[in-house]
Amino acid sequence: MKVFITREIPEIAIKLLHKNKFSIVIHKGERKISRTELIKNVRDADGVISLLSDNFDESVISEMKKCKVIANYAVGFNNINLKYAREKGIVVTNTPDVLTDATADLAIALALSCARRIFEGDKIIRNNKFIGWSPKLLLGFEMRGKIFGIIGSGRIGTATAIRAHAFGTKIIYFSNSINLELQNKTAAKKVSLNYLLKNSDFISIHLPLTEKTYHLLDKSKLMLLKKTSILINTARGEIIDEKALIEKFKKKEIFAAGLDVYENEPEVNNELLKLKNVVLLPHIGSASVEARNKMAVLSAKNIINVLKGKMPITQVN
């Protein structure tokens, strides 16, 4: 049976698949696979390991003549038409849990980078502009005593809240359901989205992208933010109306933002590049050696299980 992998992932996945006697085809190199190459390669594949940047819409899925499983190498799966895959009898899986710590670490790294203006400071040094210690240079904010608002209290939101709580922040969260673990570990309070936006010093987004969360933070919601607030997004770019966010910076109605994701990845709005105290990262939330290895193993195991007629571990459709 053929397993197609749309990009090189940690070797441990390849070893596992080899051990199970699958033939493996990998799209090699650092370039994203084109739609034409994708269609050509998935046509006769029994299983596919895909990236979040590969678009498995109806027209791609309909070309998959033998496929039983798409194992997305990501926790998010908005790049795959789940319903259509299901209709075609294709199991879709993701990689939850294993990247929770990595992503929560990054959310906190961004929060601190924004609060303490790390990248502005770095720039001063690199541009040879450091003329000595100064009482007013790059004043930021401490975390202790601040309100840390978590939007979406799933695994990553909870892990981020626990970290933020350890820094002395008060946690509030917006979610469809009560999260007792979060409340027990951090004394977090569940609040409305408007309350969270109006009152938080830090706001960190941890929701999947769906029709309901697209532009959840639109212009009218962003209006509610405090002028001193710090907005962190390690989820999906489309959840924030990026243009409206840029306007807020231009009007100095927000203190900082830490973005790991963008509305039109990999393109980044040119206006964002010009803004001070906006930290811009290239979608690296899960980019730890530990997480990526575990994601590779989980993806491979999902493929193996389905192709051997067993239950997938982390099915999403």
The answer to the question of residue 154 lying near ligand GLV (CB under 6 A) is no
Of the candidates 289, 316, 315, the one whose C-alpha atom is nearest the C-alpha of residue 208 is 316
**Given the rule CB under 6 A, which of 68-76, 118-126, 144-152, 240-248 is the region that contacts ligand GLV?**
68-76
Cβ of 165: how many Cβ atoms within 10 Å?
Answer: 18
Count CA atoms within 13 Å of residue 118 on its CB side: 13
Long-range contacts of 215-218 (CB under 8 A, 24+ apart): 215/239, 215/240, 215/241, 216/151, 216/240, 217/241, 217/244, 217/245, 218/244
Q: Tokens 């029709």 belong to which residue? A: 211
CB nearer to ligand GLV: pick between 204 and 286: 286
Kindly state the smallest distance separating residue 1's Cβ from ligand GLV, in Å: 26
Q: Residue 41 corresponds to which tokens in the numbers above?
A: 């390669």
The nearest distance, CB 73 to ligand GLV, in angstroms, is 8
By the rule CB under 6 A, 52 interacts with ligand GLV = yes
171 φ/ψ sector (left φ>0, alpha ψ -120 to 50, else beta): beta
Q: Under rule CB under 6 A, which residues in 279-308 are in contact with ligand GLV?
A: 285-286
Give the N- to C-terminal CA distance of the chain in Å, as an integer: 23
Q: Is 149 or 237 the residue whose CB approaches ligand GLV more closely?
A: 237
Closer CB to ligand GLV, 52 or 222, in the complex = 52
Give the shortest CB-76-to-ligand GLV separation in angstroms: 3
User: CB of 52: closest distance to ligand GLV in angstroms?
Assistant: 5
> According to the binding rule CB under 6 A, does residue 216 interact with ligand GLV?
no
CA Rg, the chain, in Å? 21
Residue 118 vs 191, nearer CB to ligand GLV: 118
Give the 3-state secondary structure of residue 45: coil
Pick the closer one to ligand GLV by CB: 8 or 87.
8
Residue 286 to residue 295: CA distance in whole angstroms: 9
User: Given the rule CB under 6 A, which of 39-47, 71-79, 155-163, 266-274 is the region that contacts ligand GLV?
Assistant: 71-79
Rounded Cα distance, 215 and 238, in Å: 6
Q: 151 by DSSP, 3-state: which?
A: strand
Contacts to ligand GLV from residues 79-138, by CB under 6 A: 99
Return the active site residues: 236, 265, 283
Q: Which residue has the tokens 């441990």?
A: 12
Of the candidates 5, 48, 75, 151, which one interacts with ligand GLV according to CB under 6 A? 75
Give the containing element (helix H, strand E) for 160.
helix 155-166
Minimum CB–partner distance for residue 285 and ligand GLV (Å): 5
Q: Write down the least CB distance from residue 43 to ligand GLV, Å.
A: 26
DSSP 8-state secondary structure symbol assigned to residue 82: H
Exactly one of 42, 74, 107, 279 binds ligand GLV (CB under 6 A); that residue is: 74
Give the nearer residue to ligand GLV in terms of CB position, either 72 or 113. Answer: 72
State the minimum distance, in angstroms, from the CB of residue 50 to ligand GLV: 11
Give the residue, chosen from 45, 48, 71, 76, that forms a contact with ligand GLV under the rule CB under 6 A: 76
232 pairs with which residues across the strands?
Answer: 204, 258
Cis peptide bond N-terminal to 266, omega within 30: yes
Cβ closest to ligand GLV, residue 75 vs residue 151:
75
Measure the CA–CA gap between 169 and 193, rounded to whole angstroms: 18
Number of residues that bind ligand GLV (CB under 6 A): 7
Return residues touching ligand GLV (CB under 6 A): 52, 74-76, 99, 285-286
